[in-house]
Structure formats: structure tokens, C-alpha cells
Amino acid sequence: MRLVLFDCDGTLVDSQVMIVSSMTRAFESAGLAAPPREEILSIVGLSLPIAIARLAGHRPGASVETLVEAYKASFADLRNSTLHREPLYPGARETVEALAGRPDTLLGIVTGKSRRGVDAILAHTGLGDAFAVVRTADDAPSKPHPGMVLDAIAAVGADARRTVVIGDTTYDVEMALAAGTRAVGVTWGYHHRADLAAAGADRIVERFDEVAIAVDDLIGPGET
């Protein structure tokens, strides 16, 4: 049996509008200049306290705890408003449904997003039944620590050698390699192709319809 683990933000869903808007509001609510968009997107994938600590590190007077709570509140407000935008990337639904329909394959999610955030995404997209395991920032140390992947593997009785992580950031690639799995980098997210390659991605894909091919090439068909 194979296990295919997807990152969420920047891989399955395009949440950049929500993330940048929420982070900007959080910093401004604390009387601080918001980081540039590129800087904000560079920390997507890390658990929220670590991500904000990186952004706030060189800004005098920044309280990580205050900014974390302000970000959560801003994100919740946006999710409940007409401004909510976390669409699936083109081809994501088709690929997830096709892989989930294979008897040799289990799917999972490993993400720096909160459990509440992932639950909201799965409810909105209707893809909850496709994933056998979900591990979030609430369950394990922040990426690139391998805990999320190792815990997901153990939860479904999979083997690291038959597992692949699909993600858009170097944190995903580093996490996968630290867990002893294969890593597929995707270019439609928030880190550059060259950075994914430098981090050691086994394969880098440009479109979602290339994901299943990459999985087959890297870990082969599963045992039914």
C-alpha cells in the first residue's frame, strides 16, 4: 500500500490572498508595518508561531503572541466574510479523486495549517473522505521536522519507503527527506523551483496532472 501526503496551502489550495491579508491586518493592528507580500509567502508552511517569529524578528516592539492571536482573529473574520478565497488549484480535485479511487493508494494531508483550518477547507471542497489521515500544526512540531509525516505513516500502517510528500515549499521537501520518504515539489505555490531543487526534491512538477505520474515513477504501484 502506498501513502501520498499532500501539503495544503500552496499545494492543494491557493490561500495567498487570505494569508497576506490576515498577516497584514495582524501587524497593522499592533501598530507595525506589515512585511512585504514576498516575505509573508516565504514562511507559508511553517507553524504559525514560528512563521510569525521569523517575520517579527527584526521589527522592534513586535510581540509574537499578540501577532499570532491577531492573525487568527483576522483569518477567522475573512473566512466568514464575502472576501473568503481559498480555491483548489486547477486539477487538484481531479488528481485527488483519481488517486483516492485507487485500491493501492491512501492519501493524507500534512500541513502547518491548524486543524480548524484544514477542517474548513475539507468541508468547503467536499474532499474530506478522500484523505485517510490528516496531521496539522496542532499535532506535531513545525515543518521541516519530520514528525507530521512519521505520525501519518504510523497512523495508517504505511512504510516510509512507499510514501511520497507533495509540497510547494522547501520545508515540505526537507520534512519528507528527514522522514525517509520521497518528495515531489510543485511550482504553483510559494517557493521557487530552484529552491525546491536545492532542497533535494526527487521530482518537480509544473501541473497537477503530473503529480500521479511522478508518484508512480518514484514509488511504483502499491500492493492491493
Q: What is the pLDDT of residues 133-188, one digit of tens each?
A: 999 999 999 999 999 999 999 999 999 999 999 999 999 999 999 999 999 999 99
- Asked if 143 and 172 touch (Cβ cutoff 8 Å), the reply is yes
What confidence score (pLDDT) does residue 45 get?
A: 95
In order of 14, 46, 201, 208, 209, the CA distances from 90 in angstroms are: 10, 24, 22, 7, 9
Say how far apart CA 83 and CA 55 lie, in whole Å: 24
**CATH code reported for the domain at 2-14+87-219:** 3.40.50.1000
**CA-CA distance, 18 to 78, in Å (whole number)?**
7
pTM of the model: 0.93
- At 173, phi and psi to the nearest 5? -65, -45
CATH class of the region 16-79: mainly alpha
Each residue's pLDDT tens digit, 61-82: 779 999 999 999 999 999 888 7
Please give the positions annotated as active site: 7, 9
Alpha-carbon distance of 134 to 131, in angstroms, equals 7
What local confidence, expressed as pLDDT, does residue 54 receive? Answer: 94
Structural domain boundaries of the chain? 2-14+87-219, 16-79
pLDDT digits (tens, 9 = 90+) for 93-143: 999 999 999 999 999 999 999 999 999 999 999 999 999 999 999 999 999
